[in-house]
Amino acid sequence: MHEGQLLLFLVQLLVVLGLARSLGEVFRRRGQPPLVGEILAGLLLGASVLGNLAPESFATLFPDDPVQLALFDATAQLGILFLLLVIGLEVDVASAWQLRRQSLAIAITGVVVPLALGTSAAWLMFDAWAEVPATRPAFSLLVGAAVSITAITVVARLLLDLRIAKSDLGLLLLSAMAINDLLGWAVLAMVLSLSGTDPGTGSAMVSIVAVVVFTAIAATFGRALVTRWLRALDERGYPSPAAPLSIVVCLGLACGVLTAGLGIHPVFGFLVAGLMAGDHHALSEHTRSVITQMVESVFVPLYFAGICLHVDFIEQFEPGLVLAITALSVVGKYVGAWLGTLLSRVPALDRVPIAIAHVPGGSMGVLLAAVAREQEVIGPKMFVAIVFASIASSIVVGPGLAWALGRRETGTVADFLTTDGIVASLDATDRFSAIDQLSVRAARLADLREDHVRDAVREREETMDTGVGMQIAVPHARFEGLSRPTIVFARHQKGLDWNAIDDQPVHFVFLILTPASDTGVQLEILSAIARGLDADQARARILHEYDDQQIFTAVRDALREGATRD
């Protein structure tokens, strides 16, 4: 590599990353996934637009030089690897296991139904859809996997934006979708194994067994070992997030090397590495956020823009194929997840939101399409169809989920708070002692046993931290026989460490008890709290009021404002 090639490589990075990040931010501010803007940047700079309008400029910026192509491709490939690492960090094995009756049913039907539909359609249409000499089983399974995989990152971001990520519905959704992602990528690993072997050999079966065994070991013994390792680093005072960040990245590299040696694509190794390091008791929300921001701000935009540079989306766009893949993806995942909610007896109000949340293919669908194209399982037309379906499904899920959740709001949240539920000055030293103190007050107001309330709220807190950011924590639990919700509010002047999303100390604690049979009211309360205390003035007023009555009035006004605000 000579100096001129290095200079051009830097120019490519500057242009692609700059435009991808700019357009991604534009779409993010409009409530859409940044992925849309990043792919649009690739279309504008690549063969689709620049290559057709100004072919000489395109050839100058992205010359057909093996060294130049390898430089950019190697850098962009880090995007897919590290994105899968971040996805793995979202997989909470403990939560998924605790909710296994519901999350497993939703995840399995959410994968099996679209997988069966997509595989059957691709099998029947193999002669018309196959553009490369892949085997019918590999091609069909790949299309099935592409229309069945769900983007947990898109939904996690939507849950945060809607302020319900820490609710019971949010926990169930993230648990089910985490299992969904693992199943989808396991299918992909098996498909790639099939595509590289002869049907008569046993090497494909060996790779499939390797996927299952490796994932099982990583999710149990591996996760426990890495959790212990990360905790030891924290206890010994190693710098954070530098030390855990280095450990997680090295773990991803090691698992990528291992899976590659087993004949499985390295992306699956990075996904499993994230799974092993994802215990929220070992990796703080702040450290998790640093890793995510590093990946999403640099590597991911380069990757998604880069995969579109050398594909002419205009020339390869086939309307009938795009429509078929989009319909299979959206309808299959919606119906599959909805059937799962029926089998697991999820409350009726939650069925439509859960089904809608499983629709987006997002970055996961695009990643899967890129890996399959790289491995020559699909051709450019199918690649374009899967990318379009992934983007389209991600765009519609935000408005759809907001509509489904908005049907349940009644605006009565403030009525659940009374002056007896106000603790003006909480003297707890940590979040669990705060929960213990507030459980006494909540049990008396709700006419429940103190130990039952304390144990239930502690168990829910250990399953998923309830620090939602903005100096607010919302520990909660649901109880059989409770006639109406109970809210206890406490103010802590110094602030408590609650492992919050924004790493800020918590000054405002809402302990919330709701009837087990009414899941909608919990979402209503959490949303009203987040919206009502979103303004700095509202939080400042509550923090500086003097007595219980003044605090009650300030909190009640904020809840009323939050319950009625769109």
- Domain 66-406 indexed as CATH 3.90.1640.10: no
Determine the residue type at 372.
Answer: A
Strands (DSSP E) found in 8-67: none
Beta bridge partners of residue 98, listed in sequence order: none
SS3 assignment for 144-187:
HHHHHCCCHHHHHHHHHHCCCCCCHHHHHHHHHHHHHHHHHHHH
476 is catalytic: yes
Whole-number pLDDT of residue 233: 84
Residues 392 and 324 sit within 8 Å (Cβ to Cβ): no
SS3 236: coil
Residues 512 and 475 sit within 8 Å (Cβ to Cβ): yes
Whole-number pLDDT of residue 198: 41
Q: How many CA atoms lie within 13 A of 274 on its CB side?
A: 24
Residues 314 and 52 sit within 8 Å (Cβ to Cβ): yes
CATH 1.20.1530.20 domain extents, the chain? 66-406
Q: What are phi and psi of 181, to 5 degrees?
A: -65, -45
Q: How many CA atoms lie within 13 A of 128 on its CB side?
A: 9
Identified catalytic residue from 265, 476, 492, 507: 476
Note the residue count of the chain. Answer: 566
Residues 264 and 189 sit within 8 Å (Cβ to Cβ): yes
Instruction: Walk along the chain (566 residues) and give the pLDDT tens digit of each residue.
Output: 678 888 999 999 999 999 999 998 898 888 777 888 888 999 999 999 999 999 999 999 999 888 888 888 888 778 778 877 887 776 666 666 666 677 888 888 988 999 999 999 999 999 999 988 888 888 898 899 889 888 776 777 677 666 677 777 777 887 787 777 777 767 766 666 665 544 444 455 666 677 778 878 887 888 889 888 888 887 888 887 788 888 888 999 999 898 887 767 787 788 888 888 877 667 777 777 788 888 888 888 888 888 888 888 888 899 999 999 999 999 999 999 999 999 888 877 788 988 998 898 877 788 788 878 888 889 999 999 999 998 888 888 878 887 887 665 555 678 888 888 998 888 889 999 999 999 999 999 999 999 999 999 998 888 788 888 888 999 999 898 888 899 999 999 888 988 887 778 999 999 999 988 776 788 888 888 888 888 888 888 888 877 788 888 988 888 887 766 65
Report how far Cα 357 is from the mean position of its chain's Cα atoms: 11
d(CA 495, CA 508): 8
Whole-number pLDDT of residue 280: 67
SS3 453: helix
Cα Dmax for the chain: 79
Burial per residue of 509-533, b for 16 or more beta-carbon CB atoms within 10 angstroms, e otherwise: bbbbbbbeebbbbbbbbbbbbbbbb
- Domain 413-564 indexed as CATH 3.40.930.10: yes
Q: Is the peptide bond before 114 cis (omega within 30 degrees of 0)?
A: no
Burial per residue of 125-141, b for 16 or more beta-carbon CB atoms within 10 angstroms, e otherwise: ebeebbeeebbebbbbb
Whole-number pLDDT of residue 200: 40
Q: How many CA atoms lie within 13 A of 62 on its CB side?
A: 26
**DSSP 8-state class, residue 505:** P
The pair of three-digit structure tokens given for residue 354, joined into one six-digit string:
């859960």
d(CA 470, CA 530): 8
Q: How many CA atoms lie within 13 A of 119 on its CB side?
A: 17
Determine the residue type at 64.
Answer: D
pLDDT (tens digit, 9 = 90+) per residue, 367-391?
788 878 888 889 999 999 999 998 8
Whole-number pLDDT of residue 201: 41
CATH 3.40.930.10 domain extents, the chain? 413-564
d(CA 215, CA 229): 19
